[in-house]
Structure 1
Amino acid sequence: MSAAVRGAALQLVKHLEKLPEERLKHIVSLKESQLERFKAVAGLKAGSQNAQQKPSLQEIKDIINRTSGPLGMPKDVLRKVQDALPQENLTVEAIQEQNQSLGHILNNKYRDYYSTGDKLLKPQGNPQYYQRLMDEIEGKKKETFWSAMRTVVLGK
């Protein structure tokens, strides 16, 4: 990789690190996956802070010996699989476009541009609906089964 691509990737990594943690935990985090991807391009040490310790050589040999699946495939089949995988050809322009898009997200450009009014956020039939959802996500107010049933039946 050229120095310009590494520099652009380093700038993107700095922006990615500013992203807030996701409120809901998923199997794969956008922030973590992109940090891992672009740290390798920038020449930084890849891997997350919570990464588990790498397995030992003996553990890897045990896994290979026990596995009759993909790890036990012939070398020519593995080579074909590797050749079929798309190779990432990053350019400075592509990384700068991603950096610009991430900057827009961090600055809430689209939230401000496409602002929603109270008519959408507080519908007349159930004005507390979205606030209850956000309170549940943030853990501020836990709704019980009975209060949820009351809301469904009465609409409040």
Structure 2
Amino acid sequence: MSGMIREAAKQLVRSLEKLPEERVKHIVSLKGSQLERYKYIAGLETGSQGSKQKPSLQDIKDIINRTSGPLGLQKDTLKKAQDVIPEEQFTAETIQEQAQSLNTILSNKYRDYYSVGDKLLKPQGNPVYYQRLMDEIEGKKKETFWTAMRTVVLGK
């Protein structure tokens, strides 16, 4: 990788590290997967995850290319699998565009530009709806079965 691509990837990694952790836990974290992807390009170590380290996309591609039929796959099935795996082409410009987009998200530019008023956040029919959702996501207040039934029946 050229020096410009490496520097752009380092800048993107610094921005990704500022990204807050996701409130709702998923199997794969966007922040974690992107950090792993761009630390490799930036030449930074991804850190050791002990003896059980997951194979990277490049490792999987190497395994597929080295074997004629892994896991008993037929050659036409193997060819289809290889065609589906994307070939990543990084340039300094594309990585800088991604870093700029991420910095725009981190600075809340569009949240401030397209501010939502109380008319949308607190609709007349159910003014605490969005606040209840945020409290549930953040773990502040759990709804019990009975309060959920009351909300469904009464709409409040």
Please state which band the TM-score falls in when normalised by the shorter chain.
0.7 to 0.9
Distance of 1:80 and 1:105 partners within structure 2: 36
Q: Counterparts in 2 of 1:110-121, with a 5 A limit?
A: 110-121=110-121
The equivalent of 2:152 in structure 1 is: 152
- Distance (Å, rounded) in 2 between the aligned partners of 1:102 and 1:78: 36
Per-residue deviation, residues 59-98 of structure 1 (Å, max 9, x unmatched)? xxxxxxxxxx944547997587446633211001000000
Q: What are the Cα deviations for residues 91-147 of structure 1, in whole angstroms up to 9, with x where unaligned?
A: 010000000000001000111111111000000010000001111111111110001
Moved over 6 A (4+): 74-77
**Correspondence for 1:26:** 26
Structure 2 CA distance, aligned partners of 1:83 and 1:150? 53
Number of the residue aligned with 1:54: 52
Q: How does 1:68-87 map to 2 (within 5 A)?
A: 70-73=70-73, 81-82=81-82, 85-87=85-87
The one-character-per-residue Cα deviations of 1:4-35 (angstroms, maximum 9, x if unpaired) are 10000001001000100000001111101110
Aligned-partner Cα distance in 1 for 2:22–2:120: 24
Q: TM-score, normalised by structure 1?
A: 0.80
- Percent identity over the alignment? 73
Measured in 1, the distance between the counterparts of 2:100 and 2:24 equals 25
Matched, 1:13 2:13: yes
Question: For the residues of structure 2 that align with 1:126 and 1:81, how far apart are their CA atoms?
Answer: 49
RMSD: 2.4
In structure 1, stretches of 5+ residues that fail to align are 56-68
Equivalent in the alignment of 2:63: none
The letter of the residue matching 2:16 is L
TM-score (norm. length: structure 2)? 0.80
CA separation in 2, counterparts of 1:129 and 1:77?
49
**1: distance between equivalents of 2:121 and 2:77?**
54
